[in-house]
């Protein structure tokens, strides 16, 4: 079983996985969106890895630290939550925010991830209770009060999610707002899509 990898980013495949070269061997690793978006080709990286084994499949899922890894494992321990759904949850909601949303019973927040409907979000809120105590509080952690989203448009919620994700990556609010303003101009009024907008924003912030 592979538990950790250290190497260089060789390529990205069509499914968004990272091809990590380690001493002449390439490992295809699926990672949360923010983790993959931060790494450039040729750059050194280290990943904590969960090896997922089934009769017809062996897949690697990589994370930037043990907290992400353990959060992923807490998610896939829930019946009906597979690795791809768990990865989608972590791409949309970092561990600190996920723990806060679970503590608050914030179904609206939990249901924003791809593949998570209201019913599954309700199960996450119940079944993850007390199982994310290892997650430290972070500057970007959401309030423990439920987020009121009823008056916000889907586009406004995407922008909120982007700000939150970038805060968890330790970017300052001022530089985040400046980068998001550039992305808004590039989109020319088109509704933002979380994954592509995050890639655009990270590209601006890295310049």
Q: Is residue 147 part of a domain?
A: no
Nearest to 117 by CA among 76, 64, 81, 155: 81
- Say whether both 56 and 104 belong to one domain: no
The C-alpha angle 93, 98, 102, rounded to 5 degrees, equals 145
Q: Is residue 43 part of a domain?
A: yes
Average pLDDT of the segment spanning 75-99: 90
Q: Is residue 145 part of a domain?
A: no
- Residue pair 27/2 in contact (Cβ under 8 Å)? The answer is yes
Q: Is residue 137 part of a domain?
A: no
How many structural domains are present in the chain?
3
Per the structure block, which two tokens stand in for 111? 């249901």
pLDDT at 152: 59
Q: Is residue 140 part of a domain?
A: no
> Which of the two residues, 121 and 167, has the higher pLDDT score?
121
pLDDT at 186: 82
Q: How confident is the model at residue 189 (pLDDT cuts 50, 70, 90)?
A: low
For 70-86, how does the pLDDT look when each residue is reduced to its tens digit (9 = 90+)? 999 999 999 889 999 99
Is the pLDDT score of 92 beyond 90? Answer: no
Task: Give the structural domain span for 82.
Answer: 70-127
Which range, of 34-48, 108-122, 173-187, averages the lowest pLDDT?
A: 173-187
Cα distance between residue 149 and residue 108, in whole Å:
7
pTM: 0.69
Query: Could you give phi then psi for residue 157, rounded to 5 degrees?
Result: -65, -35
């Amino acid at each position: 079983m592979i538990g950790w990898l250290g190497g260089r980013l060789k390529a990205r495949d069509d499914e968004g996985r990272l091809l990590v070269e380690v001493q002449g061997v390439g490992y295809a690793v699926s990672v949360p969106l923010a983790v993959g978006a931060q790494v450039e080709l040729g750059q050194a990286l280290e990943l904590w890895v969960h090896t997922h084994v089934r009769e017809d499949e062996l897949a690697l899922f990589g994370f930037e630290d043990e907290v992400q890894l353990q959060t992923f494992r807490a998610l896939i321990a829930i019946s009906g939550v597979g690795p791809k759904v768990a990865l989608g949850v972590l791409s949309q909601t970092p561990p600190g925010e996920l723990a806060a949303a679970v503590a608050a019973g914030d179904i609206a927040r939990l249901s924003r991830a791809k593949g998570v409907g209201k019913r599954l979000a309700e199960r996450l809120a119940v079944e993850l209770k007390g199982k994310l105590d290892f997650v430290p509080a972070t500057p970007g952690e959401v309030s423990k009060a439920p987020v009121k989203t009823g008056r916000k448009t889907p586009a406004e919620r995407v922008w909120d999610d982007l700000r939150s994700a970038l805060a968890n990556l330790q970017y300052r609010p001022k530089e985040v707002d400046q980068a998001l303003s550039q992305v808004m101009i590039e989109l020319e009024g088109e509704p933002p899509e979380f994954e592509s907008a995050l890639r655009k924003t990270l590209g601006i912030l890295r310049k």
